[in-house]
């Protein structure tokens, strides 16, 4: 079975496919007969120049092209709302981080069950390149849902988790939220998607996704994660 890289990206991809298929089918159903009638009933000198005036509609066709589109709209609206609700509601077992945006960096605070900060990571502004020091990367465990509480210190930013295809505005004085889950360990981009000043194009960081046991060690302050992880695997 193919492993899903990230949520809610999986649902967005499915929704785009559904909407695209429906849109193409509707386009074909409307455009093909339209082109046919344009050609068939185009103006021809000496032929049906006045047109038919004794016909005034067809109740069956009127009902058909009213009921069918209504059903399609209701189905798409229900389906889309279900997708929206899933991407807005974090799973109950999600871990929580608080991310604060500022011109032009990020601060990620890892919270315990009581909301106390147990670790903080700050990504500073890098105006000359796109490298992120390892100790400034936001680390999360693979396969674990993460709920991010978002705010800003200055202007409006937007927290965009690229592999999860999700973004949310960070507003000064307010707490917004999103959640995501990355299943494959690796490093992924995080960008600001709201223009926030001259340094906006360099407001980024890296999301470092590691196996859960490595994340536990990192959260405790262990630095040599690779060796510690190998020790854990060797003891299993």
3-state helix, strand, coil in the chain (%, to 5): 35, 30, 35
| pLDDT tens digits along 87-136 | 999 999 999 999 999 999 999 999 998 999 999 999 999 999 999 999 99
Sheet holding 176-182, edge to edge: 6-7, 176-182, 146-152, 95-102, 105-111, 117-123
Distance (Å, rounded) from C-alpha 203 to C-alpha 167? 14
Report pLDDT for 228: 45
| pLDDT tens digits along 162-210 | 999 999 999 999 999 999 999 999 999 999 999 999 999 999 999 999 9
Angle at 115 between CA 109 and CA 116, to 5 degrees: 65
User: Contacts for 20-23 with beta carbons within 8 Å, 24 or more apart?
Assistant: 22/72, 22/76
| pLDDT tens digits along 134-156 | 999 999 999 999 999 999 999 99
Report pLDDT for 236: 39
| pLDDT tens digits along 1-27 | 567 899 999 999 999 999 999 999 999
Distance (Å, rounded) from C-alpha 231 to C-alpha 181? 26
| pLDDT tens digits along 37-95 | 999 888 888 887 777 677 777 889 899 989 999 999 999 999 999 999 999 999 999 99
Report pLDDT for 222: 62
Report pLDDT for 235: 46
Report pLDDT for 226: 46
Q: Which helix (H) or strand (E) holds 19?
A: helix 9-40
Report pLDDT for 58: 86
């Amino acid at each position: 079975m193919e492993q899903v890289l990230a949520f809610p990206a999986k649902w967005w991809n499915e929704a785009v496919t559904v909407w695209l298929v429906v849109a193409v089918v509707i386009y074909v159903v409307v455009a093909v007969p339209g082109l046919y009638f344009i050609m068939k009933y185009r103006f021809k000198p000496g032929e049906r120049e006045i047109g038919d005036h004794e016909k005034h509609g067809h109740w069956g066709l009127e009902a058909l092209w009213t009921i069918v589109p209504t059903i399609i709209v209701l189905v798409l609206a229900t389906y889309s709302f279900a997708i929206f609700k899933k991407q807005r509601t974090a799973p109950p077992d999600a871990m929580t981080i608080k991310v604060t945006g500022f011109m032009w960096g990020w601060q990620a605070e890892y919270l315990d069950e009581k909301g106390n900060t147990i670790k903080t990571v700050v990504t500073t502004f890098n105006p000359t390149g796109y490298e992120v020091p390892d100790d400034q990367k936001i680390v999360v465990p693979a396969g674990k849902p993460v709920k991010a509480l978002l705010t800003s210190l200055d202007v409006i930013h937007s927290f965009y988790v690229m592999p999860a295809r999700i973004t949310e505005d960070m507003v000064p004085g307010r707490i917004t939220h999103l959640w995501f889950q990355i299943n494959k360990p690796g490093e992924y981009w995080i960008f600001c998607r709201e223009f926030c000043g001259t340094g906006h194009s360099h407001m980024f960081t890296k999301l470092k996704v590691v196996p859960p046991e490595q994340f536990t060690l990192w959260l405790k302050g262990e630095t040599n994660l690779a060796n510690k992880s190998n020790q854990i695997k060797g003891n299993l």
